[in-house]
A and B are shown apart, each in its own frame.
Chain A
Amino acid sequence: MKIALEVNGKPVHVDVSPWKRLLDVLREDLKLTGTKEGCGEGECGACSVNLDGEVVNSCLVAVGQCGGRKVTTVEGLANGDILHAVQKALVACGGAQCGICTPGIAICASHVVDRGLVDFGDEHARARVRELLAGNICRCTGYQLIVDAVIAAAKEVGQ
């Protein structure tokens, strides 16, 4: 089946089974391997992408559902060499260790920051970040430095 969608701001056309997972279309057909598979059952969030303004697990989305829609992957977060505030903060704060969960974290955190879902001045800001990112599992960091990074990025974007 021929499906047209927009990925990272560019129109793309694929000719695949509509049941093929969006994750596999991105990785295999479009060679966008930044999006990772960690569990294949929607638990870990490593495959998170932004679909029409919402964060989804691309392992649970069939590409047949994506016709005419806009997908942003980790490869689409930076503007050329200029990193997104969340990417910059993840590097600066040490929020990426082994890095395999990082693309999913970056996608989710950029959504949180860009939408202004966290009031970085609020005393409950860290708890709010934890709640919003609870669908993304990281086994390396203990999350502390990632929360630091999201707060730092929210500050940068919000000021």
Chain B
Amino acid sequence: MDRSPALVVGASLPRVDGVAKVTGKARYLDDLDVAGVWHGVTVRSKVPHGVLEGFDRDPAFDWSQVVVATAEDIPGANSIRLIEDDQIAIVPVGGTVMHVDEALAVIAAPTRALAFAAAKAFKPRIKALPAVLSIDDALAVTQKIYGTDNVFKQFLIRKGHVSDAEFETHFARAAKVIEGTYVTSPQEQMYIETQAMMAQYDERDGTFFITGSMQCPYYVHKAMKHFLGCDADGVVITQSVTGGGFGGKEEYPSMLAAHTATIAKKAGKPVKIVYDRDEDIAATTKRHPSRTHHRLAVDEQGEILAIDVDVVMDGGAYLTLSPVVLSRGVLHAAGPYRCPVTRIRGRCVATNYPPHGAFRGFGAPQTTFPYERQIEKLARARGEDSFAIRRRLALRAGDSTATGQVLGLSVGSDEVLDAVAAVAGHPPERDGSNSNGAPVKRGRGYAFYFHGAGFTGSGEQRLAGKAAVVATTTGFEVRSSSTDIGQGVITMFTQIAAGALGVEASRITVVDPSTAHVPDSGPTVASRTCMVVGGVIDRAGRALRERLETWGRDHGMPGASCDELGVIYATQHGELAETVTYEPPPGIQWDDLTYTGSAYPVFGWACCLVDVSVDLDTYEITIDRCVQAVDVGKAINPNIVKGQIEGGTLQALGWAVIENVIYKDGRVWNASMTNCIVPTFADAPDLETIIVEVPYPFGPSGAKGVGEIPMDGPAAAVANAVHDALGVAFDTLPLSPESLARGLGGAS
């Protein structure tokens, strides 16, 4: 099926790793057969804030059969290096416990059961301190847990005004002001493979080998150089086949790497840590919960005069990635709508919850929900059609965003709106009954949104990601640190490289990411893998082909194919590698101090239509229909793009109506799959996915990003549909039967 190399890009090739996965042959971390491997378990705090005074070991337990590591055993510095070095890896005796699941010790044993038994017999003594367990307490500084004000990071973006007083004049002259407060809940990534890592320590040369489930080998590498106190060659990080990530394996794997490395060195054995589901839900990162106050001022004609956003996110106990999550949140907070005057304030606060972190969308879903509810309320207040108002106010090429970025290339706003309009059909009948005979109200909602592809501002230039395409004696290799976490990187890179080289896809091998073998292409995050790293691979492939063809002409083989030349060259001279570094497209200017300029090289665009029915007996919401049109620039593999859009869509629909992480006294109260639910086959509607392609000239074959955008909008579309059905506004996620019952209390 890959007979025609010229057509390989844009074809729905079956996944390269598909057969291994359907036959059970793909080896995830816990499947690796490593002789003599021990099992590690983490001893955690039980209180959200306090001082670790020491440990009591149960004297009845035979401690000779296990190995216990505490902070004293850490080979280097006791922190997880990320943006800052603030997160402790293992709390030392005398140190401060900042959340209930903070690691206090790591225990390893020959069997998992024995390791768990030992952990139960190893009891920390903690002197409890008052904890900060809400955004309000954090802002009121009931306890000082970070800096002087408990604020990890704040942003203020101003467009079209210089002072608050000037800003308020636009509200004073408005014909209408729409105002609301919106709350979004924490969300668990719920990858089906829990966090898993294994470390081995080679005593002869002092090298650590760490393998596991992860998105970003070089993030772990950077953290481990610091934590282990070694140079770049002192630790090798390798990704094993990874059973889902969604952001949840962006930063947290460094914690498992630290724990396994520490105990493996002390035990003198390879040690693996595979989290139980309850531990994974409770201890690892979740989507930042948020609260947003949003004001929208319009004139008589319904033109937006000004947008005012104030978003606060709960970062949890350590800074981790919160500044960049907040950054992406504020940069999307005004939405894809025309507006001359914008003020966006964002704050991320410290609390005594386990750190919140990366999850698909990375701050944007938290700010998309508010602005899409506000546009809906504006339409209702003006008596204007919900879809028409979005089309009327949509940003188009030539318009400027909240940061003053003038949109130029690949602005797919009209195309995604047209695509949804073409299939929308009539809205459902308002009143009816469902298959249980219960009365229902039905409604339709829309959402329209955008998502910046790649790192913010000058992030990609600073990172300067590299990737290589290499001719070997048996074919071609792609070497990059981008990980396949299910989203299809291996297949997509295979297609891009095959297209660039002009060879069949079967001639390409995408090398498993290991810091020993691949250059640093940057992390697998931010909808950047296809556009940025794929673009680098495309350039590397084209350059390699040119070198080989030139060499062929110079050596009397003018008619030879690139495929043949690669093998001949490598056989005679050894492998030929073309390593390329990312180069930003021209005209990208960004000011990190004022947060103005080109926030992203380009945006993806999307529109979602949702029809719901609300059961008036149970207040359950059924999603009867969900259409999503997404402008991806170019679909390198349409079937994989469809899978990405649909997976993200269902995560968003789940976040809208059933998913919720419930905290009680600082601890996750529903830390099991039974209670922390995600949509099943039966909960999901048939999804109608429309791929829209408005090419981006600086992406490979025109491709932009797709990973995150489908997560941004559907929750708002659901809330808008419920608003349409019931005539009542619901502005807090999730829209559970309980919240509907409260909202409708006394109404009927």
Residues of A with Cβ closer than 8 Å to B?
A: 27, 31-41, 43-44, 46, 73-75, 77-78, 83, 87, 90-94, 96-103, 106, 126, 129-131, 133-147
Taking CB atoms, residues of chain A closer than 8 Å to B194 are 38
The A/B interface has a contact count, at CB < 8 Å, of 170
A-facing residues in B29-45 (Cβ within 8 Å)? 30-31, 33
B486 touches A97 (CB 8 A): yes
Q: Are A142 and B277 in contact (CB under 8 A)?
A: no
Which residues in window 1-43 of B have CB below 8 A to A?
12, 14-15, 17-28, 30-31, 33
Interface pair B192/A36, CB less than 8 Å apart:
yes
Further contacts, 15 of them, CB under 8 A, given A98-B193, A138-B192:
A31-B33, A33-B24, A36-B192, A41-B674, A78-B23, A83-B23, A90-B18, A91-B19, A96-B18, A98-B191, A98-B243, A99-B241, A103-B24, A137-B678, A145-B643
- Is residue B689 within 8 Å, beta carbon to beta carbon, of the partner chain? yes
Shortest CB-to-CB span from B534 to chain A, Å, is 18
C-alpha gap A27/B643 in the complex (Å): 30
State whether B687 touches A41 (Cβ < 8 A).
no
Let me know if B86 is at the binding interface, CB within 8 A: no
Q: Which residue of B lies closest to A32 (CB)?
A: B24
- Find out whether the CB atom of B192 lies under 8 angstroms from the CB atom of A33: no
Which residues of chain B come closer than 8 Å to A131, judged between CB atoms? 681-682
Least CB distance, B260 to chain A, in whole angstroms: 19
Q: A38-B277, A94-B643, A96-B18 are in contact. Are A77 and B23 (CB under 8 A)?
A: yes
Which residues of B are found within 8 Å of A103, using beta-carbon distances?
22, 24
Q: B678 near A98 (CB under 8 angstroms)?
A: no
In the complex, how many angstroms separate the beta carbon of A138 from the nearest chain B beta carbon? 7
Interface magnitude class on chain B: 35 or more
Contact status A142-B276, CB under 8 Å: no
A144 touches B22 (CB 8 A): no
Decide: B244 and A98 in contact? CB cutoff 8 A: yes
* A36 with B23: CB separation less than 8 A: no
Q: Is the CB of A99 within 8 A of B21?
A: yes
- Which one, B14, B682, B687, contacts A142 given CB within 8 A? B687
Of all chain A residues, the one with the shortest Cβ separation from B191 is A139
Q: Decide if the interface of chain B is mainly helix, strand, loop or mixed.
A: loop
| In the complex, chain A residues whose CB is within 8 Å of the CB of B639 | 93-94, 145
B135 part of interface (Cβ distance < 8 Å): no
A31 partner residues in chain B, CB cutoff 8 A: 33
Complex CA–CA separation, A146 to B18 (angstroms): 13
Q: What is the chain A residue whose CB lies nearest that of B276? A: A40
| Distance to closest chain B CB from A82 (angstroms) | 11
Given contacts A43-B673, A43-B674, contact A142 B649 (CB under 8 A): yes
25 contacts between A and B (CB under 8 A): A32-B24, A40-B276, A43-B673, A46-B192, A74-B22, A87-B19, A87-B22, A91-B15, A92-B14, A98-B486, A99-B21, A99-B22, A99-B243, A100-B244, A101-B243, A130-B684, A134-B682, A139-B244, A139-B678, A140-B486, A140-B643, A142-B647, A142-B650, A144-B686, A145-B646
Does B195 sit within 8 A of A, measured CB to CB? Answer: no
Q: Determine if B207 is an interface residue (Cβ-Cβ < 8 Å).
A: no
A26 CB to nearest chain B CB (Å): 10
Interface readout for B242-257 with A: 1 if CB under 8 Å, 0 if not? 1111100000000000
Expressed in whole angstroms, the Cα–Cα distance for A97 and B689 within the complex equals: 17
Q: Which residues of A contact B191 (CB under 8 A)?
A: 98, 100, 139
Q: Is B692 located at the chain interface by the 8 A CB criterion? A: no
A18–B645 alpha-carbon span in the complex (Å)? 45
Answer whether A38 and B25 are a contact pair too, CB < 8 Å, given A99-B243, A140-B647, A145-B643. no
What residues on B are CB-neighbors of A102 within 8 Å? 21-22
Q: Give bound CA distance, A96 to B243, whole Å.
A: 11
Per-residue A-contact encoding for B472-508, CB less than 8 Å = 1, 0 else? 0000000000000111100000000000000000000
Name the residue of chain B whose CB is nearest to the CB of A90: B22
Residues in B neighbouring A144, C-beta threshold 8 A: 642, 646, 684, 686-687, 689
Q: Are A100 and B243 in contact (CB under 8 A)?
A: yes
Residues of B within 8 A of A146 (CB): 681
Contact in complex: A142, B193 (CB < 8 Å): no
Residues of chain B within 8 A (CB-CB) of A78 are 23
Instruction: Please name all residues of chain A whose beta carbon is closer than 8 Å to the beta carbon of B650 when the two chains form the complex.
Output: 142-143
Q: Is the CB of B19 within 8 A of A97?
A: no
